[in-house]
Amino acid sequence: MTGSNMCNQLMINSATRLYGVFGNPISHSMGPVMHTRAFREKGINAVYLAFRIDAIEKGLQAMREIGIQGASITIPFKESVIPFLDDIGEHAKEMGSVNTVVNKDGKLFGYSTDHKGAVEPLRRVTPLKDKDVCVLGAGGAAKAVAYGLKKEGALLTISNRSENKGKALADQMDARFVALDHVTGLNPDIIINTTSVGMMPDTDKSPVPARFFHESMIVFDIVYNPLMTRFLIDAKNAGCTIIDGLSMFVGQGAAQFELFTGVEAPVNLMRDAVLEEMTKS
Ligand code: ATR
C-alpha cells in the first residue's frame, strides 16, 4: 500500500511511535496537523501531539521515560533546553538555540532547523551567495535567518528599532547595522521581516513604507498570521517576488521531519495541511 493510499487511515496500535511539540503556550500550534499529515503520507506509524509544559526538563524526562521519539521545541524553551540534552549539533551550538530533539536509544540530541526554514524558500527563487540581504529585526528569529544567510555567503545588513540589540546581532554575524528609521536609504536584493510588525491584530502596519519596494526585490515576511501582511501586499503591488511566513514554518518543520524519520518530507502536503487548519480557525 502506498503512502497516499494510507492517507485517511488511522494506524494507531502498540507499535505507534510518539512525537510532539513542547512549548507554552501551545494551543495554536500547527505542528500536530503538519507532522501527522506527513507521517500518514509516508506510511509511517507515528503520531505527533502538542504538550504545554511549564518546565522543559519535565518534557525531556518524559521523552526518556516513555520513549517519545522526537520533539519540536518552541517558545519559550529554545535556549533553556540546552543544558538538559546529551549532545547538540553544530548549527544549534553556534546559534545557542534548539528547536528539535531526537531520542536515539535513550540519548537526547538537540538540533536547530530554523535557519533551514529561512534559507530553503529563498534558495528556491535565487542563489544567495553575494546577494545583498537586509534582515529587519534582531530577536531569536532574526538570528536564525541571519545565521542561515551568512552560511550561504550572503552580504548581510541588520536593521532594528533598538540600536543595542541590532548592533549586537550585526557584530555576531559580521553584518552591517542600520537603524530601522534609516532603512529607506537601502536598496537590497532581498529584504526579510522578522519583527512582529504587521502581525494580528495590527495588520495595517508594516516595518517599511510602501515606497521602499521596487520590482527587482525579493521580499520575505516570516509573519504568517495573517499570511498576506501589509509588508507583502505593498511588495506585491510594487511587482516584487514575495515569500510568505508559512514557507519558513513549513521549511523548519520539513527539516525536523527528516531528522525524526530519515525520510524526505512531503513539503507541499505539509503546507496544505497547515493552510487547511488556518482556514478552519
Ligand atoms: P523573536 O524571537 O520572534 O524574534 P523577539 O526576540 O521578541 O522575537 O524580537 C522581536 C523583534 O521585533 C525585535 O527585533 C524587535 O525590535 P527591538 O529590538 O527594538 O525591540 C522587533 N519589534 C517588535 N515590535 C516592533 C515595532 N513595533 N517596531 C519595530 N520593531 C519591532
| Residue 164 CA, closest ligand 1 atom number | 18
Span 149-161, pLDDT tens digits: 999 999 999 999 9
Cell digits for 130? 553575494
For residue 5, what is the DSSP state?
A: G
Ligand 1 touching residue 142 (CB < 6 A): yes
How far is CA 13 from each of CA 26, 47, 50, 102, rounded to the nearest angstrom?
26, 11, 20, 22
Name the pTM for this structure: 0.92
Active site residue 93: no
Per-residue model confidence (pLDDT) at position 4? 46
Q: Cα–Cα distance between 92 and 98 in angstroms, integer?
A: 5
H helices, E strands: number in the chain: 9, 12
For ligand 1, atom 6, name the residue with the nearest CA.
Answer: 139
Which residues in the chain come in under a pLDDT of 70? 1-10, 281
